[in-house]
């Protein structure tokens, strides 16, 4: 009987009522702190992500609901499966480690959240500790996460090295100066901090368990580190574990709030972006139905007089001058871009020293959306014209737009199916059809095409001259 009782209470000290209540208070404080922290983070995150959604929806309406099976397949292969990343094997493998690690780590987050809200410690472990198979599985999962975290640590250093020490051309372009460069490094530093906290948490936890039970939980990596801490005494170990635990969840929360203003938003938006990306051949530039209407009236003047004269139609704007004229899908792409620069590295104009950089097209689009959004935020959510637009005004210049050869190299390269060319064409349309902003040679070419049906000044009647050798 005595043995049984002793067994049941073994994990606990036979402490006085006073110290138990002290522990209870400490636990209660932690629960309250966790609830307060989580509550404010979720509230703020909701606001920030709702704002992103509103910003994307500032774009022109476009219904995208065709061919759902193919869209799902793309999402599975390109977004989830990272198919296009593997055109470049080394960065693809490095990226894969962080990606898998990020996704799998979220499993552990479930337990951490339950523990935080209920004041428990490793609730899942304790729920399954008497079921060998499940306990083994738990230890395996946590250990697997530890191994991935360790790999991620090496990869993060590799990324810092690639980004800052060896001069990879796509990381050296002028559009990355300032915030984009800082942002990229911030993410990597956050990763290092997060991993440090994860190992403080697990090692501290295991060292404590080791002191109390003579063996660890059995996690592979922290299990090797735990004995080194055991000399520190239980209080110091508990402090290390608690710093790790709180630091870990705080980093996760900070990251959640940091994402909306970072290029790193791609970890969420890559999925919808690939899903909604266009499926038509890359060479196809969709026709403008509003122009078809005009041309048909021009070709058949009778129809013009027969047209109903009832309601005056809203004047149509051709092409895009600002972000509201682009489709919401273009704005989603801008928010999904992680500024990797594979597009720019492949761009023939950029390779030959022209100003055009497809990555900058996406970055400028997002920056202009943010500018519009900030001005709306300061004005009760209402947009008031600011006299600026996406063209010039510190954003995309006419020179950049004119340098594009529409070769689709940027579209081909993008690992998450972003299409910078789609935006370039819409902006070009506005330059040409609204502002008549064309180089002289193009003006001549248009005139020839209009007058004699060829870009050069040759008569249509001479089209068979080639038959005479």
Partner 1 sequence: MLEVKTMAEYAANGETPEVLFWVGCAGSFDQRAQKVTRSFVKILNHLNIKFAVLGSEESCTGDPAKRAGNELTFQMLALQNIEVMNSYGVQKIVTTCPHCFNILKNEYPGLGGKYKVTHHATFLQELIDTGRIKLSDASQFKGKKITYHDSCYLGRANDIYEAPRALLEALDAELVEMKSCKTKGLCCGAGGAQMFKEEEHGTIRINNARTEQALETGATVIAAACPFCSTMISDGVKAKEKQMQVKVFDIAELLAAGQGLENLTF
Number of residues forming the site for partner 1 (CB under 8 A) = 70
Contact call for residue 296 and partner 1 (CB under 8 A): yes
Contact call for residue 174 and partner 1 (CB under 8 A): no
Closest distance to partner 1 from the beta carbon of 117 (Å): 50
Q: Which stretch binds partner 1 (CB under 8 A): 63-71, 92-100, 105-113, 446-454?
A: 446-454
Q: How does DSSP classify residue 284?
A: -
C-alpha 225/C-alpha 210 separation (Å) is 11
Of the two residues 168 and 298, which places its CB atom closer to partner 1 in the complex? 298
Neighbours of 7 (CB within 10 A): 8
Contact call for residue 461 and partner 1 (CB under 8 A): yes
Residue 194 has, within 13 A of its CA and on its CB side, a CA count of 28
Closest distance to partner 1 from the beta carbon of 72 (Å): 21
Contact call for residue 131 and partner 1 (CB under 8 A): no
Q: Which of 124, 142, 356, 372 binds partner 1 (CB under 8 A)?
A: 356
Closest distance to partner 1 from the beta carbon of 333 (Å): 18
Closest distance to partner 1 from the beta carbon of 68 (Å): 22
Q: Which of 14, 17, 133, 456 binds partner 1 (CB under 8 A)?
A: 456
C-alpha 345/C-alpha 353 separation (Å) is 11
Nearest to 321 by CA among 444, 176, 447, 437: 437
The enclosing H or E element of 2 equals helix 2-8
Contact call for residue 445 and partner 1 (CB under 8 A): yes
In the shown chain, the binding pattern of residues 250 to 289 toward partner 1, with x for contact by CB under 8 A and - for none, equals: ------------------------------xxxxxxxxx-
Contact call for residue 54 and partner 1 (CB under 8 A): no
Asked whether the beta carbons of 169 and 344 are under 8 A apart, the reply is: no
Burial of 318 (0-12, 13-18, 19+ CB in 10 A): middle
| Contacting partner 1 within 413-432 (CB under 8 A) | 425, 427-432
C-alpha 422/C-alpha 433 separation (Å) is 17
| Alpha helix positions (H), 214-327 | 220-229, 234-258, 266-276, 289-299, 301-306
Neighbours of 435 (CB within 10 A): 12
Contact call for residue 77 and partner 1 (CB under 8 A): no
Asked whether the beta carbons of 336 and 418 are under 8 A apart, the reply is: yes
Closest distance to partner 1 from the beta carbon of 418 (Å): 15
Helix, strand or coil, per DSSP, at residue 60? strand
Q: Which of 265, 409, 416, 423 binds partner 1 (CB under 8 A)?
A: 409
Contact call for residue 349 and partner 1 (CB under 8 A): yes
Neighbours of 54 (CB within 10 A): 13
Q: Which stretch binds partner 1 (CB under 8 A): 50-58, 143-151, 237-245, 443-451?
A: 443-451
Of the two residues 24 and 298, which places its CB atom closer to partner 1 in the complex? 298
C-alpha 341/C-alpha 409 separation (Å) is 12
Distance of CA 413 to the CA centre of its chain: 17
Closest distance to partner 1 from the beta carbon of 303 (Å): 13
Contact call for residue 319 and partner 1 (CB under 8 A): yes
Write out the residues near partner 1 by the rule CB under 8 A. 87, 280-288, 291-292, 294-296, 298-299, 318-319, 346, 348-349, 351-356, 399, 402-409, 411-412, 425, 427-433, 438-439, 441-442, 445-446, 449-450, 453-456, 458, 460-469
């Amino acid at each position: 009987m005595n043995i049984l009782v002793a067994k049941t209470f073994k994990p606990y000290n036979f402490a006085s009522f006073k110290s138990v209540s002290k522990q209870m208070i400490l636990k209660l404080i932690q629960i309250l702190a966790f609830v307060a922290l989580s509550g404010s983070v979720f509230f703020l995150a909701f606001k920030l992500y709702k704002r992103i959604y509103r910003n994307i929806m500032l774009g022109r309406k476009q219904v995208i609901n065709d061919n759902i099976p193919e869209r799902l397949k793309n999402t599975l292969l390109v977004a989830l499966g990272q198919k296009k990343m593997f055109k470049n094997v080394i960065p693809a493998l490095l990226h894969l480690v962080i990606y898998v690690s990020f996704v799998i780590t979220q499993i552990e987050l479930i337990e951490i959240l339950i523990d935080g809200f209920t004041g428990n410690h490793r609730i899942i472990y304790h729920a399954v500790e008497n079921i060998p198979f499940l306990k083994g599985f738990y230890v395996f999962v946590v250990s697997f996460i530890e191994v991935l975290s360790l790999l991620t640590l090496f990869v993060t250093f590799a990324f810092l090295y690639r980004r800052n020490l060896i001069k990879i051309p796509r990381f050296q372009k002028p559009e990355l100066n300032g915030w984009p460069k800082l942002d990229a490094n911030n993410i990597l530093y956050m990763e290092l901090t997060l991993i440090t906290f994860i190992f403080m948490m697990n090692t501290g936890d295991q060292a404590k368990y080791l002191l109390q039970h003579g063996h660890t939980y059995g996690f592979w990596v922290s299990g090797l580190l735990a004995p080194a801490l055991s000399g520190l005494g239980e209080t110091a170990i508990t402090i290390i574990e608690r710093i790790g635990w709180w630091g870990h969840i705080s980093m996760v929360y900070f990251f959640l709030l940091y994402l909306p203003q970072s290029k790193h938003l791609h970890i969420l938006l890559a999925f919808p972006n690939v899903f909604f990306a266009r499926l038509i051949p890359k060479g196809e530039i969709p026709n403008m139905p509003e122009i078809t209407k005009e041309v048909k009236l021009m070709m058949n003047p009778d129809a013009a007089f027969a047209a109903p004269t009832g309601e005056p139609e809203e004047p149509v704007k051709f092409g895009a001058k600002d972000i509201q004229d682009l489709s919401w899908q273009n704005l989603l792409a801008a928010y999904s871009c992680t500024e990797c620069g594979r597009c720019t590295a492949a761009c023939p104009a950029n390779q030959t020293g022209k100003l055009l950089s497809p990555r900058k097209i996406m970055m400028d689009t997002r920056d202009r959306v943010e500018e519009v959004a900030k001005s709306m935020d300061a004005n009760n959510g209402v947009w008031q014209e600011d006299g600026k637009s996406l063209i010039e005004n510190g954003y995309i210049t006419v020179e950049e737009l004119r340098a594009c050869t529409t070769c689709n190299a940027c579209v081909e390269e993008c690992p998450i199916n972003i299409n910078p060319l789609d935006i370039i064409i819409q902006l070009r349309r506005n330059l040409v059809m609204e502002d008549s902003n064309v180089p002289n040679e193009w003006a001549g070419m248009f005139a020839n095409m209009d007058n004699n049906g060829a870009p050069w000044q040759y008569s249509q009647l001479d089209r068979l001259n080639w038959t005479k050798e």
